[in-house]
């Protein structure tokens, strides 16, 4: 399995968290649980070789080979699998507020959903999908999709400095800053901030804060730190161990102790360390 990271074009860097290409001669390993844990990032997924089966919120979906898909912000883990043959797909993870300025679609309409680009982006999605399917070289696919994103960004650029500030504050504090603090620092009401987040992020500020708290500990797992070390800072972020266990299980499907001891998830590990 190989996960190669792409440096986005300068115009896209303020909107993209990570850009990568997954390649494997045998698909995703059948012996491990490959999952994408919530990280606050909506995504574009381009499976150019083999299809991907995903299970999220009890729903099974298939991202078909040569398709183009948009994954809205997720509140829980997505379990991923493929058939055991050569597999390749491109992933573009936007910052929590990074997809809205490009696509202009209320992100709340995409939250916890996997959507075909033909469905959510109409003519643009269909045209881009067809051209991507006709490009044989992965480098050409990467160059083409970057060019298309720059083009639609130039047409829209629906940025909001309040949302940008709040997302950065939540991220830099690992989700510890309160919504009351955001109200005081921005001068806007909780209700108004939630409306902005629905459009630009798809999740309320409180939910994004919870994802950032979880990610603090998930990254430690990705670094192969033992469960005992995860517990050292637990009470700085959660009321008690039961609260931590409940949130961790909601985000991954497993208790933290079982996850750190039994789950390999090399795909998720490498992605988290990017």
The pLDDT value given to residue 146: 98
The pLDDT value given to residue 154: 84
Model confidence at 271: pLDDT above 90: no
Q: How confident is the model at residue 122 (pLDDT cuts 50, 70, 90)?
A: confident
Model confidence at 273: pLDDT above 80: no
| Helical H segments across 9-88, by residue range | none
Q: What is the mean pLDDT of residues 182-187?
A: 97
The pLDDT value given to residue 138: 97
Percent of the chain with pLDDT over 70: 99
Q: How confident is the model at residue 229 (pLDDT cuts 50, 70, 90)?
A: confident
The pLDDT value given to residue 32: 62
Q: What is the mean pLDDT of residues 108-137?
A: 94
The pLDDT value given to residue 227: 74
Longest dimension (CA), the chain: 54
The pLDDT value given to residue 180: 96
Q: What is the mean pLDDT of residues 248-273?
A: 84
Q: What is the Cα–Cα distance from 250 to 264, expressed in whole angstroms?
A: 18
The pLDDT value given to residue 261: 79
Look at 57-71, 158-172, 187-201, 232-246 and tell me which has the smallest mean pLDDT.
232-246
Q: What is the Cα–Cα distance from 264 to 254, expressed in whole angstroms?
A: 12
Q: What is the Cα–Cα distance from 124 to 110, expressed in whole angstroms?
A: 17
Q: What is the Cα–Cα distance from 76 to 56, expressed in whole angstroms?
A: 7
Model confidence at 161: pLDDT above 80: yes
Q: What is the Cα–Cα distance from 210 to 212, expressed in whole angstroms?
A: 5
Model confidence at 33: pLDDT above 80: no
| pLDDT tens column, 214-226 | 999 888 888 887 7
Q: What is the mean pLDDT of residues 25-43?
A: 86
Walk me through the domains of the chain, giving residue ranges and CATH numbers.
2-155 (2.60.120.10), 161-272 (1.10.10)
Beta bridge partners of 47: 89
Model confidence at 232: pLDDT above 80: no
Q: What is the Cα–Cα distance from 254 to 57, expressed in whole angstroms?
A: 14
The pLDDT value given to residue 31: 61
Q: What is the Cα–Cα distance from 105 to 96, expressed in whole angstroms?
A: 14
């Amino acid at each position: 399995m190989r996960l190669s990271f792409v440096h986005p074009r300068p115009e896209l860097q303020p909107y993209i968290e990570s850009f990568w290409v997954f390649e494997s001669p045998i698909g995703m390993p059948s012996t491990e649980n490959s999952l994408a844990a919530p990280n606050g990032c909506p995504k574009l997924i381009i499976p150019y070789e083999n299809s991907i089966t995903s299970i999220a919120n009890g729903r099974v979906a298939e991202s078909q080979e040569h398709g183009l898909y948009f994954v809205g912000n997720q509140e829980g883990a997505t379990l991923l699998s493929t058939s055991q043959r050569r597999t390749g797909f491109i992933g573009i993870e936007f910052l929590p507020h990074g997809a809205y300025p490009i696509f202009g679609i209320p992100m709340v309409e995409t939250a916890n959903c996997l959507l075909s680009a033909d469905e959510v982006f109409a003519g643009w999605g269909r045209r881009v999908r067809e051209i991507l399917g006709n490009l044989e070289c992965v480098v050409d696919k990467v160059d083409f999709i970057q060019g298309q994103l720059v083009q639609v960004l130039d047409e829209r650029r629906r940025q909001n400095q309040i949302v940008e500030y709040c997302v950065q504050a939540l991220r830099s504090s690992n989700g510890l800053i309160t919504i009351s603090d955001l109200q005081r620092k921005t001068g806007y009401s909780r209700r108004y901030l939630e409306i902005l987040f629905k459009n630009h992020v798809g999740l309320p500020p409180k939910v994004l804060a919870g994802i950032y708290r979880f990610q603090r500990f998930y990254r430690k797992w990705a670094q192969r730190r033992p469960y005992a070390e995860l517990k050292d800072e637990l009470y700085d972020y959660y009321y008690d161990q039961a609260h931590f266990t409940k949130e961790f299980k909601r985000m991954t499907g497993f208790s933290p102790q079982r996850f750190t001891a039994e789950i390999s998830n090399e795909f998720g590990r490498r992605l988290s360390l990017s």
